[in-house]
Amino acid sequence: MAKPIKETPVLSGKDAERFARIISENKEKRASKSEYDRIMSNYNKLKNKLRID
C-alpha cells in the first residue's frame, strides 16, 4: 500500500523571509543560451531513455 503524501509545511519567520528574498532576486534571471541548450539536451536524452512503447 502506498504511503500518503504529507502536506507541505508553511514557511514562517526567517525561512519565509529568506525564501521571498531569493525568489525576488532570481525573478528576472535568465539562463544563458549555452546553459539552456545543455539542460534541454539532458532533458531530451532522459525523455528518450524513459520512453515506453
Q: What is the pLDDT of residue 50?
A: 87
Give mean pLDDT in consecutive 10-residue pieces for the chain, a chain of 53 residues.
90 95 91 95 92 64
Q: What is the pLDDT of residue 53?
A: 54
Q: Strand, coil or helix: what is 31?
A: coil
How remote is the C-alpha of 49 from its chain's centroid? 21
pTM above 0.75, yes or no: no
Q: Does residue 20 contact residue 28 with C-beta atoms inside 8 Å?
A: no
